[in-house]
Structure 1
Amino acid sequence: MIPLSVLDLAPIAEGATATDSFQNSVALAQAAERLGYRRYWLAEHHNMPGIASAATAILIGHIAGHTRTIRVGSGGVMLPNHAPLQVAEQFGTLDALYPGRIDLGLGRAPGTDGAAAKALRRYYASAEEFPQDVQELLALLEPARVGQTVQAVPGAGAHVEPWILGSSTFGAQLAAALGLPYAFASHFAPAMLDQALSIYHRTFKPSARLQKPHVMLAVNVVAADTETEARRLFTSVQQSFTRLRRGEPGKLPPPLESAEAFNTFASPAERVGVEQALSVSVLGTQSQVREGIESLIARHHPDELILTANIYDPAARVRSFELAMQALSD
């Protein structure tokens, strides 16, 4: 069976708090570990009322501390917001606390808007320095050399697994050039998926870290006991995307009374945009999820899948991941 992982956006639901979100994440991570998921990743976002994972490294440590074996990491850390030395120190510390369990997914986008980027005391132009920043960070994670002026302590020699994240061909080119595994954000930006994977496989250069290409695709998966219920639960994500594109980000809303009700909530143009952004989604019963994921695997041939499900009800979210794992295990 292809390895499955979890991407948690640490959603803050309407009527809930960040504390509730963190408690829900711990419960989901523990369930994912029990079910056999390989990784549990959290994504850095800022100035987003509905996402609680801004301090990503801290939350990774919290999740790792409440689990025992599952790998925990970033999907990802937005490197333009940070000095490479600080990231090396943070993830070196995590590796020292939870040896052999820490992943470091690196993204080029700032994960926020211009105002928040300025508040972070970093500048979006630094995204253009992403390749150099990645190489600097990787060097800091190597064992320290005699006479090395700056060392990451902890960090030098850490057994952290680095990944390049992307939603375009840029990340694919960089991951291939550096010989690193590549995770594609097909769960919200699938337009360049085929092109990016082609470039990554065609131009990959083996490295000391990775001898052959390794791809993980992100997929929205909402599973429930009936297709009707799965599609209804998915309306929370559809509403969130619509509000974000309206410039009205907020907490994760409860699902609408039915999937069809989204046609009233959003305009025709909005529905087209959301449908395109969320086209790599698998919804339905256990058998429908199995069929949908198998079709995705047959088309794109990923080495791993990372599933995400922004579901309003925490119990329904855990149930969705249970059904998804059962679907692929049968």
Structure 2
Amino acid sequence: MASLNIPVSILDRANSREGDTEAEALQAVAERAESAEKLGFRRFWVAEHHAVAGIAGSAPAVLMAALAARTRSIRIGSGGMMLPNHQPLVVAEQAATLNALYPGRIDLGVGRSVGFTSAVRRALHAGKAEAEQFEEHLAELLAYLDGTAAITARPQDHGQTPVFVLATGTGADIAARAGLGLVLGGPALFRSSPESALERYRNGFRPSRRFPRPYVLAAVNVAVAATESAATRLLLPEANALADSRTRGVFPALAATDGTVTGPERRQELVRGFLADAICGTPPEVRRRLAELLDATGADEVLATGGAYDIAGQRESDRLLAELAAS
């Protein structure tokens, strides 16, 4: 089986699972990070979600510290920390502290998303206005990390921590102007017109001390199993949860599934759309589809996302994906 000849990493959203506690969900993330390191993945990232019933990961900096302490070589990062929710100085201090404790192993992915509901946005004191200031806040964050701000953030980072932008809206253009790495997923990955986010990022990229050239992480839901139906069943619980969030306003804990798509037609459409955008199947099929994605996008790295209810199945999927990347 041919190698992908490209680094592969993991983003774990710390999904809760029906029947388990949230503490058990976070413990599962830590165990997966340890396994990912042994399997040879380049990075292991965690996300930021607030007051979402089905996601236990709300404090990426805290979780990153725990994961870095339990691993030795794999890069640990955020995918991402949402700048509308935080003061740039605090984000810089957290990243710099982690990099001081675990030098050369910390990635800082940042985004501009705001809370899932209006109540969450009020609790965070963040909303549309803060999201619109993303580029300004990003520049402030970089100044603290680089040591060029009006005050000196401690510990000093000296620009050592790589920074990536999670592309939403104009995120690709902002990443290009700042000379940062880009994380791109969803439909934007598959548009290849001159106006695509990828083309705008590459054409507008300004080299920086962090990235002398454009660097793209292609974020895509991935599941690998012995059969196509088994791989689909790994992704279906998260697809169901996402569909419920869009139709009922609640993202529930991942639940077991018999592999069928049920519910109102709108819910079924959302589930099928989620699965259509994912890459899942047997190892040869996943390798073929990932190779097609890389040919189409020229991405520098794959960031495999997707939460599974079946932890054993997820562990096997990670193993098979690592084999594809290394064999």
TM-score range, shorter chain: over 0.9
What's 1:251 paired with?
A: 253
Amino acid aligned to 1:140: Y
Does the CA-based 8 Å contact 1:107-1:164 persist in structure 2? Answer: yes
What's 1:294 paired with?
A: 291
Correspondence for 1:5 among 3, 9, 17: 9
Q: Spell out the pairing of 1:263-302 with structure 2 (5 A cutoff).
A: 265-302=262-299
Q: Spell out the pairing of 1:27-38 with structure 2 (5 A cutoff).
A: 27-38=31-42
Does the CA-based 8 Å contact 2:236-2:271 persist in structure 1? Answer: no
Does the CA-based 8 Å contact 1:5-1:306 persist in structure 2? Answer: yes
Correspondence for 2:103 among 72, 93, 99: 99
Secondary structure, in 3 states, of the residue corresponding to 2:183?
A: strand
What's 1:202 paired with?
A: 203
CA distance in 2, matches of 1:190, 1:110: 20
TM-score by length of 2: 0.92
Using the TM superposition, give the Cα deviation of residue 48 of structure 1 relative to its aligned residue in structure 2, in angstroms. Answer: 0.6
CA distance in 1, matches of 2:180, 2:50: 26
CA distance in 1, matches of 2:56, 2:233: 24
Using the TM superposition, give the Cα deviation of residue 252 of structure 1 relative to its aligned residue in structure 2, in angstroms. Answer: 1.1
CA distance in 1, matches of 2:111, 2:156: 19
What's 2:182 paired with?
A: 182
Using the TM superposition, give the Cα deviation of residue 257 of structure 1 relative to its aligned residue in structure 2, in angstroms. Answer: 1.2
Unaligned runs of 5+ in 2: none
1:251-294 deviation digits (Å, cap 9, x = unpaired) = 1111x212xx20xx133333333433453311111111111111
Amino acid aligned to 2:318: F
Instruction: Give me the CA root mean square deviation.
Output: 1.7
1:92-131 deviation digits (Å, cap 9, x = unpaired) = 1111111111100010111432211111233331111100
1:209-242 deviation digits (Å, cap 9, x = unpaired) = 2111110111111111221211122211221111
**Judging changes above 3 Å, is the alpha-carbon distance between structure 1 residues 278 and 154 closer, same or farther for their aligned structure 2 residues?**
farther
Using the TM superposition, give the Cα deviation of residue 36 of structure 1 relative to its aligned residue in structure 2, in angstroms. Answer: 1.0
Correspondence for 1:312 among 309, 312, 318: 309
CA distance in 1, matches of 2:128, 2:21: 29
Does the CA-based 8 Å contact 1:80-1:130 persist in structure 2? Answer: yes
What's 1:213 paired with?
A: 214
Does the CA-based 8 Å contact 1:220-1:308 persist in structure 2? Answer: yes
Unaligned runs of 5+ in 1: none
What's 1:59 paired with?
A: 63
CA distance in 2, matches of 1:54, 1:142: 27
1:165-195 deviation digits (Å, cap 9, x = unpaired) = 1133x01100111111100132xx5477541
Does the CA-based 8 Å contact 1:10-1:22 persist in structure 2? Answer: yes
**Judging changes above 3 Å, is the alpha-carbon distance between structure 1 residues 193 and 253 closer, same or farther for their aligned structure 2 residues?**
farther
TM-score by length of 1: 0.92
- Which piece of structure 1 moves more, 17-26 or 116-125? 116-125
Amino acid aligned to 1:304: E
Does the CA-based 8 Å contact 1:6-1:41 persist in structure 2? Answer: yes
Does the CA-based 8 Å contact 2:52-2:251 persist in structure 1? Answer: yes
1:49-72 deviation digits (Å, cap 9, x = unpaired) = 111110110001011110000000
Amino acid aligned to 1:302: A
- Which piece of structure 1 moves more, 154-163 or 268-277? 268-277
Does the CA-based 8 Å contact 2:225-2:231 persist in structure 1? Answer: yes
CA distance in 2, matches of 1:222, 1:206: 35
CA distance in 1, matches of 2:27, 2:241: 21
Determine if the alignment matches structure 1 residue 239 to structure 2 residue 236.
Answer: no
- Which piece of structure 1 moves more, 57-66 or 225-234? 225-234
CA distance in 2, matches of 1:275, 1:172: 27
Amino acid aligned to 1:92: A
State percent identity of aligned pairs. Answer: 38
Secondary structure, in 3 states, of the residue corresponding to 1:119?
A: helix
Amino acid aligned to 1:164: V
Does the CA-based 8 Å contact 2:48-2:58 persist in structure 1? Answer: yes
